[in-house]
Structure 1
């Protein structure tokens, strides 16, 4: 009897697929397309198996992002496929990541956003389609340059309307439409 091949995952490829089909394709972030087309988005995959390792990777990626010109790398997605599957644990790591950026004196330089396969807004049911605005194939920490955010908001004067537009777009799409995008983790 032949041994079964181990399942192989490609978190970077799955994340790019999600970025292109959901984030850009549904226009959930109107600023994402420009940096993606210019190849200014780094997708880094953490091999960490615990929170401490993820935070070490986040610190390294933050340092590299700050040291790299924005014209080469404007933003970094740190994908975490081997741990932090529990959303509450992940949310704790996000808070610790924000403290790490403050300790490194990067507050006002970098901002940390987050995405998770089990993301859930307070006061929503787990399957509420609105949660999918922040759902990604794997736990993901997103480092953004504050100056880039400022430029994007200046170019998009109604930035506060993005959230509402995203909720309406997902409600129109529905769960069946989301599932048809096929933007989850692939074995």
Structure 2
């Protein structure tokens, strides 16, 4: 189900390094990236159902490999529109975790090229906090999230700080930065 696609994996890794870590959008990403604890998995899934199977495969892998901190499940062929993706990640993916009894162990966060925060205009630069080169589902260990939040002096300040940084950069600069990540992949 999950296969490596070097261009999408390389573009996603470049995005993590340049955007997520490089702009300090996630203070917890750099240690995991430097330690090699992020798995970049690219699936050929083209439907929401196939994507759920890929999600299950990746969650099971995280269960079996405690040295892996997190997985970025990139799905360039599935749920390409924001309108399809948003309800899937917040509905189907979370429901699967709950039905499998894994919602206390894992959580999912969506990243998408069309990501838009509720209440924000589509062209607001703050949306680039969760805009990625391809649709992807970030699978996180719940205990790691809780530990990261507890270890940060002010985790609530991170989202507001990100909005300020991204708005100062502007949409065009951010679009170009992500485009270069894709071109390198």
Q: C-alpha separation between the residues in 1 aligned to 2:147 and 2:118?
A: 30
What root-mean-square deviation, in Å, do the aligned CA atoms of Structure 1 and Structure 2 show? 1.6
**What residue in structure 2 maps to residue 10 of structure 1?**
7
Higher helix share: 2
Q: Does 1:60 align with 2:76?
A: no
The offset of 1:9, in angstroms, is 7.4
Structure 2: gaps spanning 5 or more residues: none
Residues 1:103 and 2:99 are matched in the alignment: yes
From 112, 119, 139, give the equivalent of 1:143: 139
Structure 2 residue 12 is the aligned partner of structure 1 residue 22 = no
Secondary structure of the corresponding residue to residue 182 of structure 2: coil
Q: Residue 154 of structure 1 corresponds to which residue in structure 2?
A: 150
Structure with larger Rg = 1
The answer to whether residue 60 in structure 2 is matched with residue 84 in structure 1 is no
> Structure 1-normalised TM-score?
0.90
Q: What secondary structure does 1:149 align onto?
A: helix
CA contact (8 A) 1:138 1:185 kept: no
Q: Tell me the alpha carbon deviations over residues 29-79 of structure 1, each in whole angstroms, 9 at most, x when there is no partner.
A: 00000000000000100111111111100011011111211xx20000000
Is residue 55–residue 93 contact of structure 1 (8 Å, CA) maintained in 2? no
Tell me how far 1:157 sits from its aligned partner.
2.6
SS of the equivalent of 1:78 reads strand
CA contact (8 A) 2:132 2:178 kept: no
1:36 matched residue in structure 2:
33
Q: For structure 1, which runs of at least 5 residues remain unmatched after alignment? A: 1-7
Q: Which ranges of 4 or more aligned residues in structure 1 deviate by more than 3 Å? A: 182-187
**1:42 is paired with a residue of what secondary structure?**
strand
Q: What TM-score, normalized to structure 2?
A: 0.91
